[in-house]
Amino acid sequence: MLHEKKKSEETDYLEPIFGTKEEGSILPKYRLAQQSIEPRVAHQLVADELLDEGNARQNLATFCQTFMETEAIDLMSQTLEKNAIDKSEYPQVTELEKRCVNMIADLWHANETEEFLGTSTIGSSEACMLAGMALKFAWRNRVQKLGLDSTKKKPNLVISAGYQVCWEKFGVYWDVELREVPIEQNEMTLNLETVMDYVDEYTIGIVGILGITYTGKYDDIKQLDHLVEQYNQTTDYKVFIHIDAASGGLFAPFVDPELIWDFRLNNVVSINTSGHKYGLVYPGVGWIIWRGKKYLPKELIFEVSYLGGSLPTMAINFSHSAAHIIGQYYNFLRYGFEGYQSIHQKTRAVATFLSEQLATIDCFDVINDGSELPVICYSLSTDKDIQWTLYDLSDRLRMKGWQVPTYPLPKNLANTLVHRIVVREDFGTNLAHDFIKDLHNALNELNQAHLLFHKQNELKTYGFTH
Ligand SMILES: *Cc1c(COP(=O)(O)O)cnc(C)c1O
């Protein structure tokens, strides 16, 4: 962890610094040096620290964007100093944020007459906290009116066991029980046969996930809405749906327009997405939209001053740079609907190509073929006599710079170990060819190996999986 200073490590360093006065001076690693050093030297030292870091473009583990156009980077680096919360000082940033909220609300079929509202956040994690809090406050207001003692039991939130870790945090921070619906081998998404069994009077809401992080599959939100509609007709204790569309929210509207998962469904009250996933912005921006004012309790809305008046704010974070909002606006303006559509279609085509290639390799079972989110997930066939594990394969691929995470599936399926590849905009067919070539070489090497590193029954998380 960050506070740890390893005893065994050198705590000072001595650097030859390319013919400068500092050459030969000693710099402490874990406390401030007494004196300053020249910018060029500091720059070189920091750059050198990062030399053996993984290469982001070859990081097939992350959903986060690893490429932006130079024009976007230029705008973002010119606006790093603007604080997004200073609405009076930078009213134009506020205007651009508003435009983004409106564009996203439109993509998700929010209805003007219901008075949708939304905000940018730092990412989906912050957006999910807000969504969860809004559900909790709205639930409490509703049930108290119905005469329920809301303090008697811990409120709960129903979600598939394939949730992202931010929901676990939400449960702990806001004292809400996460009711996990186990996922089944044949579906690997929210189990619609059992989900409503988890709902009771203390349920603040149900979360549908558009693209579960483990495999990339979409929950069947339309059917979930149908079940909720039926349930709500039988009780005064209504329950509503939040959609965690961190990955799918800015992917599905462009490539799966016929998929009905958003505000077209009556019981979906809020949706979040990560601008830095398929919104194609570098890490640091997310979005949340509520379908109407009444789903965001007014206790959660605060006012900041804006051009002599005031403006509502509902994000948790206060100060942060406006650069990412500007990057998001640039992308929306630059690509338009068809631009996003064609980028995402190509990304999906690469995913499909990869999964077809993987399917021809007989030691793998493809679990997700990239036909929803462009995410490929596969396990080792259990009926083959294979001496090595997916951890060994990850190690081999790492030698060529590829980072492919290995981890067990969530509860219930935790005996299945998988590899997951997230295909992003910057992973073109050319790179996919290189990857497949390196994969075949790695498999050949493993099949002939005499010494393997990982036990065959090992089940740990290896690499970044969120
Ligand atoms: C990535 C992800 C999150 C967290 O999003 P950040 O933008 O990284 O904070 C939450 N939920 C799902 C389903 C995700 O894929």
Distance from Cα 241 to the centre of ligand 1, integer Å: 17
The rounded Å distance from CA 282 to ligand 1 centre is 14
**How far is ligand 1, taken at its centre, from the CA of residue 166, in Å?**
7
pTM of the model: 0.92
Task: Enumerate residues lining ligand 1, CB below 6 A.
Answer: 63, 123-125, 128, 164, 166, 209, 213, 244, 246-247, 274, 286, 466
Rounded to the nearest whole angstrom, what is the distance from the C-alpha of residue 287 to the centroid of ligand 1?
Answer: 11
How high is the pLDDT of residue 457? Answer: 77
Decide: helix, strand or coil at residue 117. Answer: strand
Q: 99 C-alpha to center of ligand 1: Å?
A: 23
Please give the pLDDT value at position 325.
98
Q: What is the pLDDT of residue 44?
A: 86
Pocket probe for ligand 1: among 66, 157, 166, the residue whose CB has the most ligand atoms within 8 Å is 166
Contacts of 425 (CB under 8 A, 6+ apart): 65, 67, 280, 343, 346, 347
Strand runs labelled E in 114-257: 117-121, 156-160, 177-181, 203-209, 241-244
Domain annotation for the chain: domains and CATH numbers: 73-331 (3.40.640.10)
**pLDDT confidence of residue 3:** 60
Nearest CA to ligand 1 atom 2: 246
Strands 241-244 and 26-28: what pairing?
unpaired
Spatial distance between the Cα atoms of 248 and 213, rounded to a whole number of angstroms:
10
Ligand 1: distance of its center to the CA of 123 in Å?
7
- pLDDT tens digit sequence for 3-13: 666 655 666 66
- Burial bucket for residue 270 (CB in 10 Å: 0-12, 13-18, 19+): buried
- Taking only the tens place, the pLDDT of each residue in 177-186 is 999 999 887 7
Residues of the chain with pLDDT under 50: none
For a mutational test of ligand 1's pocket, the pick from 66, 120, 189, 213, i.e. the residue with the most ligand atoms closer than 8 A to its C-beta, is 213
Q: How many Å lie between the centroid of ligand 1 and the Cα of residue 164?
A: 6
pLDDT tens digits, 387-430: 999 999 999 999 999 999 999 988 878 888 999 999 999 999 99
Which ligand 1 atom is nearest residue 165's CA? Answer: 10
Cβ pair 210, 252 in contact under 8 A = yes
Query: pLDDT value at position 38?
Result: 85
Can you give the pLDDT at residue 167?
A: 97
Q: What is the pLDDT of residue 413?
A: 82
Alpha carbon of residue 95 to chain centroid: 26
| Buried/exposed 225-249: b ≥16 CB within 10 Å, e otherwise | bebbeebeeeeebbbbbbbbbbbbb
Which ligand 1 atom sits closest to the C-alpha of 213?
15
